[in-house]
Amino acid sequence: TVQQRQDLMEVIEDRHGRGSTLIASQLPTEHWHDYIGSATLADAILDRLLHGAHRLNLKGESLRKAKAQNTESVDPS
């Protein structure tokens, strides 16, 4: 929503240049602009977030999926 975008911008603006900000997302960064919506706010938010960011892109199967498969394969008797 408009309010959520403004809230996110306010948080990012308050933290920009003052401390670290960690964001975890299942949505690839190349889709963040479209997901945020408003082009002006998205540009401002992403400029502050991604400039100088260290990105860690994880690959492979989900650990939740692997854990669920291991749980299903255990015989309860």
- Percent pLDDT > 90 in the chain is 9
Tell me what pLDDT residue 10 has. 92
* Average pLDDT for 28-55: 87
- 7 pLDDT band, cuts 50/70/90, is very high
* Average pLDDT for 53-60: 84
Question: What is the chain's length?
Answer: 77
Tell me what pLDDT residue 76 has. 60
Per-residue pLDDT at 22 exceeds 90? no
